[in-house]
Structure 1
């Protein structure tokens, strides 16, 4: 009887403790979710690092570039994505969708857009919502994927031949380009001739670990995943992956892993001495050879 009373008291005490903890947790939920919301907000701010205004080195839009707004649904409202369309002189030229990385808007991307145009491409480039003249405040992984898909529809209208359509993504834009390519390939019919990814990474958690502590389970903490390495395994179109060997921001080993994961026809182009931003310029000849070998293109000579 004594043992039974002691056990009962202990069980009752244990239950009271658990009930108190449950009530505290229940009352703390609004604060918890508010804190999580603030963390997600801060994570997105640090990831996209949107710089307002024009880049300091921007000296105006080249002749021939047409600026337009592309509508995109945002709940019950309609927002707009700002775009630049720079057609090639040849109306039968291949067309490429240019997807930029973090921080700089289109005014900071002109040198790479110019290079693709010099190769002979017609180029459609966009600012995701929250960048440049596009609507919206702070981008997210979900919204940049949506913006890329809307831009792809616009490119398809300008270049109806799938064999003359390409996707290009730089840095964070590479992960967005891979998502778009995997989305298009899942639709069944071939919608693009190829994918070009430059200076990009495997997952956001991987690049964060490389800059902090490798053992931290960041993949469980980060709300923005950008899981490019799993998605590129679903890409069937030919893939050209480019990376500078002297990239101080995103090591070239990430592109090597992307290359290993890509299942179809592919080529890895490591540009000796290339940094995060100049591989297309200093590796222009290698780019041209890769276009010919992988895609059967004959880019305009320098």
Structure 2
């Protein structure tokens, strides 16, 4: 192989490595516990959710507390990195407002079986939704009420949740779907990441060849029409820029709402902004707010 051939092979190899890196960014599972809710004085239960093929997914269940009237259940679909021992912190506060809170790890994350992938996470999401529906139904039977059921997807979790809902036969019992800092297409976000560096700029078209959109929600979001959808996105989100959120909102059917978080960064609406969006979320779900 001549010098030119060697350079060409090196460039092509770099391109493939770049695409592989983009694909790898989708899944960065944390393998260790970072925070124990018990250390924060929080009551919770370890739960196992059975996914496809008998895979066991590790989950935490936080019961509604603080003497608040029980209002429903919120299940979290977290982002691509770490695990539930960090992600629970952004939403577990809902227990103070009367909501049971469920968070789970995808296959290959921390103590969950298997390895992550688009199809695998779709299966996991369907299993988690089924668990949440059954749990909320049991609470309804016990309390004699009709508790709210909401699903909250953050970043990759929002993308996974939207696609899974299109396949979920019981989605009509999900009262609200919240999608924060998510993207509708794996290929588009991969291409966008390649465009950032001059070394990979020329290889952007390869994203459409080497990254799959088989489980991207872009073509299925419209089928969720009739399901109440709230899209949240920060104006300063440099990880998943806000135009992805706007695209999701554009594709979604009614009823739908869009919260543009001024100055908001990646999935920070519920952990900053002086609690503004926490109060708005509780109001959106139909309950009184607390400071």
Does 1:141 pair with 2:118? Answer: yes
Taking CA–CA contacts closer than 8 Å with sequence separation of 6 or more, which of the two structures ends up with the larger relative contact order?
Answer: 2
Summarize deviations over 1:116-152 as a string: whole Å, max 9, x none. Answer: 334442111110110011111x211111111111112
1:81 aligned onto 2:63: no
3-state secondary structure, aligned to 1:234: helix
Residues 139 and 43 (structure 1 numbering): CA distance in 2 closer, same or farther, change over 3 Å?
A: farther
Q: Higher mean Cα deviation, 108-117 or 39-48?
A: 39-48
Residue ranges of structure 1 left out of the alignment (5+ in a row): 1-37
Normalised to the residue count of structure 1, the TM-score between the two structures is 0.76
Corresponding residue number in structure 2 for 1:95: 73
1:48-87 aligned at under 5 Å gives the runs 48-55=27-34, 58-61=35-38, 62-74=41-53, 78-87=54-63
Give the number of aligned pairs.
Answer: 255
Contact 1:96/1:121 (<8 A) preserved: yes
**1:231 — aligned with what?**
220
TM-score, normalisation: structure 2: 0.78
Structure 1 match to 2:10: none
Relative to 1, partners in 2 of residues 1:210 and 1:189: Cα closer, same or farther, differing over 3 Å? closer
> Max radius of gyration: which structure?
1
For the 8 Å contact 1:175–1:201, the answer to whether it is kept is yes
| Change in CA separation of 1:189 and 1:125 when aligned onto 2, cut-off 3 Å | closer
Gaps of 5+ in 2: 1-16, 141-145, 196-200
Q: Does 1:196 align with 2:178?
A: yes
The yes-or-no answer on 1:259 pairing with 2:249 is yes
Q: For residues 86 and 300 of structure 1, do their structure 2 counterparts lie closer, same or farther at Cα, with a shift above 3 Å needed?
A: farther
Partner of 1:170: 154
Higher mean C-alpha deviation, range 98-107 or range 156-165: 156-165
Equivalent residue of 2:101, what SS? strand
Tell me the alpha carbon deviations over residues 183-236 of structure 1, each in whole angstroms, 9 at most, x when there is no partner: 23xx37722101000011121111112111375152332135442222211112
Equivalent residue number for residue 292 of structure 1: 283
Cα distance in 2 for partners of 1:81, 1:247 equals 30
Whole-angstrom CA distance in 1 between matches of 2:247 and 2:190: 16
Residues 115, 280 of structure 1: 8 Å contact kept: no
Q: Is this contact kept in 1: 2:23–2:190, CA < 8 A? A: no
